[in-house]
Amino acid sequence: MREAFAARLESILGRDSTMKNLTAPRLVEQAVLRGEGQLSATGALSVETGKYTGRSPKDKFIVKDELTSGTVEWGSVNVPMSEEVFYQLFERVLAYLEERDRLFVFQGFVGSDPAYRMPVQVVNEFAWQNLFARQLFIRPSQDELKGHRPEFTVIAVPGLKVDPREAGTNSEAFIVVSFTEKVVLIGGTGYAGEMKKSIFSVMNYLLPQKGVLSMHCSANMGPNGDTALFFGLSGTGKTTLSTDPGRLLIGDDEHGWSDNGIFNLEGGCYAKCINLSQENEPQIWDAIRFGAVMENVVIDPETRIPDYNDGSRTENTRVAYPLEHISGRELSSRGGHPKAIVFLTADAFGVLPPVSILNDQQIMYHFLSGYTSKLAGTERGIQEPEATFSACFGEPFLPLHPETYAAMLKDLVNRHGATVYLVNTGWSGGPYGVGKRISLPYTRAIIKAVLDGSLADVDCFIDPVFGLRVPKSCPGVPPEILDPRNTWEDKNAYDQKARELAAAFHKNFDRYSSVSDEVKAGGPPVQS
């Protein structure tokens, strides 16, 4: 960090009014006293994030300078910001911090493997956001705090809204990462997920340079120490399916895969709350207690009981809680090399099989594709389900070219003998609005069969449209639903919809002109 900026930030954080490394009870107390939120009947702190109830990808930038100009994959995901504009924005952020009567600072770590751990510092104007940071990042011991020297600093100031014409941004909000200055600036948005995902993007830039694959996935461990990974975009069940009473949770969202095995990057979980039920997701339900932070969940004004079925504020209601709130967790937040890897997709077209086993070419193809569906009503202008593709199941957070991560995954899978499955948690019997979503008990039965080896030697057939190897039977699942075409009354309608999705896969994969013909052959054999 430029000396003048660094000295100024140090002076700001050295003021008596700056509160550092407060405990969860103290942060909750501060948040309530300052009117930032209220305690719900569960004991969790309930807050509203304002105008922004989700990530704002069009407001995210990376500073383009000597360090990043030749390493970052620039484009619509990684949008460059000039050094001049960045430093002007940094000046405004520091001036804003100087005007605050109180600031909150969390100092901790990212990465549960000490060999790849990075010290971080999070500066907030709101106590509740600092509580979020405390619960989502790795909390240090008192001894670790003594020698803590942050390698990256996140500054989140939702109250600072800029004029995009003057600030060089796209809106009043901004999320800017400078790898040279090792700082993240977040302003204009109160959505706390921007803090966590910004640091995830930082790790996605740094870890591959150390020979470690950074992954947007959840991970858990069986009674015999067998580790499993679950890749998937929002709404596919990544958190739900990895939080299993019969297995130990390693983490629900961000991991690294090194020569030592799997390690969680975080110290907490960030779960969706919409339609949450104690019956279907008991561990998440029980984790929502004192110390947890609920975002945009509607609370009854008299009883203060959360209504998880109310999406009037947003469908993206969230809760953040520390891993300690999960009774069945792996204390080290680490695991061995995985033997089972699951790619999760929520296919709203209702044409992908509930489970299929991928060969080497299909692993690369589907990892680079990162397919799921956007549903009608989730975004303005969407009237019908839309196929959406996010490379490596996490493209918004990948500063490097997606093929960098895909090549690393292929190498690790081959070296450690992992089997990769594509599991559809979406619709069956017709598209969204006609068919029904595959029941969670059936999906859990599929995951159980994947993890206990029940599908290893089962008879399979090859799906004629997508070329996938599909089991003919699976314990706990009606065999008739394993072939999606069987579940449609109108077979011709199925064939047409399946061809439409196959064409969407091919159109998306045109972007990967440099991949081998062998990898391209992992896509649907049907061209249109």
pLDDT in tens, 196-244: 999 999 999 999 999 999 999 999 999 999 999 999 988 898 988 998 8
pLDDT of residue 3: 78
Please answer whether residues 391 and 368 qualify as being in contact, where contact means their C-beta atoms are separated by less than 8 angstroms. Answer: yes
What residues are labeled active site?
55, 197, 216, 234, 238-239, 253, 318
- Coil, helix or strand at residue 505: helix
Confidence (pLDDT) at 336: 97
Question: At 319, which amino acid appears?
Answer: V
What is the model's pLDDT at position 387? 86
pLDDT (average), residues 404-413: 96
The correct CATH number of 339-520 out of 3.10.450.50, 3.90.228.20, 3.40.50.720, 3.60.21.10 is: 3.90.228.20
Cβ atoms within 10 Å, residue 101: 7
Q: How far is CA 277 from CA 272, 273, 280, 434, in A?
A: 11, 9, 6, 24
Q: What's the pLDDT score for residue 375?
A: 59
What are 93-149's pLDDT values in tens digits? 999 999 999 999 999 999 999 999 999 999 999 999 999 999 999 999 999 999 899
Average pLDDT for 251-259: 97
3-state secondary structure at position 506: helix
Q: Please tell me whether the overall predicted TM-score, pTM, comes out greater than 0.85 for this model.
A: yes
d(C-alpha 124, C-alpha 155), whole Å? 6
Model confidence at 378: pLDDT above 60: no
pLDDT digits (tens, 9 = 90+) for 47-61: 999 999 999 999 999
CA distance 393 to 108: 27
Supply the DSSP symbol for 138: B
The band of 526, judged by pLDDT with boundaries at 50, 70 and 90, is confident
pLDDT higher than threshold 60 for residue 383: no
In angstroms, the CA 63 to CA 76 distance is 14
pLDDT, one tens digit per residue, over 168-177 is 999 999 999 9
Percent of the residues in the chain that have a pLDDT greater than 90, as a whole number: 91
Which residues 6+ apart lie within 8 Å of 278 measured at CB?
Answer: 285, 286
Give CA angle at 180 (176, 183), nearest 5°.
45
What pLDDT shows up at residue 235?
82
Return the sign of the alpha-carbon dihedral for residues 490, 492, 495, 498.
Answer: negative
Residue 481's pLDDT is 96
Does the pLDDT at position 381 exceed 50? no
Q: State phi, psi for 348 to the nearest 5 degrees.
A: -80, -5
Matching fold, domains 271-325 and 339-520 = no
pLDDT of residue 528: 59
Looking at the predicted structure, is the pLDDT value of residue 384 above 80? no
Enumerate the domain spans of the chain: 3-38+58-210, 271-325, 339-520
What is the reported pLDDT for 51?
94
Please say if the pLDDT value at position 379 is more than 50: no
Answer yes or no: CATH 3.40.449.10 is held by domain 3-38+58-210.
Answer: yes
Average pLDDT value for residue range 471-480: 97
Whether the pLDDT of residue 430 is over 80: the answer is yes
pLDDT at 377 (0 to 100): 39
Q: Average pLDDT in the 154-164 region?
A: 97
Residue type, position 412, single letter: L
Report whether pLDDT(192) > 90: yes
DSSP code per residue over 239-291: HHHH--TTSEEEESSEEEEETTEEEES-SEEEEE-TT--TTT-HHHHHH-STT
pLDDT tens for each residue of 260-304: 999 999 999 999 999 999 998 999 999 999 999 999 999 999 999
Buried b (16+ CB within 10 A) or exposed e, 486-499: ebbeeeeebbebbb
- Does residue 319 have a pLDDT over 70? yes
Q: Quick check: 245 and 328 in contact, CB under 8 A?
A: yes
Q: Is the pLDDT of residue 380 over 60?
A: no
Provide the pLDDT for residue 515: 92
Write down the H helix ranges in 288-349.
none
Read off the tokens for 326. Answer: 């999960």
Q: Determine the 3-state secondary structure of 59 from DSSP.
A: helix
- Per-residue pLDDT at 382: 46
Mean pLDDT of 18-40: 97
| Residue 95: Cβ within 10 Å count | 12
Beta bridge partners, 294, equal 46, 319
Give the residue, 233 or 495, on which the prediction is more confident: 495
Burial bucket for residue 258 (CB in 10 Å: 0-12, 13-18, 19+): buried
Q: Which two tokens stand for residue 375?
A: 């549903």
Read off the amino acid at residue 397: F
* Interior angle at CA 128, CA 123 and CA 133, nearest 5: 50
Q: Are 359 and 521 in contact (CB under 8 A)?
A: no
Q: Please say whether the dihedral angle defined by the alpha carbons of residues 402, 408, 414 and 416, taken in this order, is positive or negative.
A: negative
CA neighbor of 522 nearest in space, from 404, 402, 356: 356
Distance CA 172, CA 157 (A): 12
Write down the pLDDT at residue 243: 87
Which of 166, 108, 112 minimizes the C-alpha distance to 132? 108
The superfamily in CATH containing domain 271-325 is: Phosphoenolpyruvate Carboxykinase, domain 2 (2.170.8.10)
pLDDT for the residue numbered 6: 87
What average pLDDT is seen over the chain?
95
Distance CA 351, CA 10 (A): 56
- Residues 160-185 have a mean pLDDT of 97
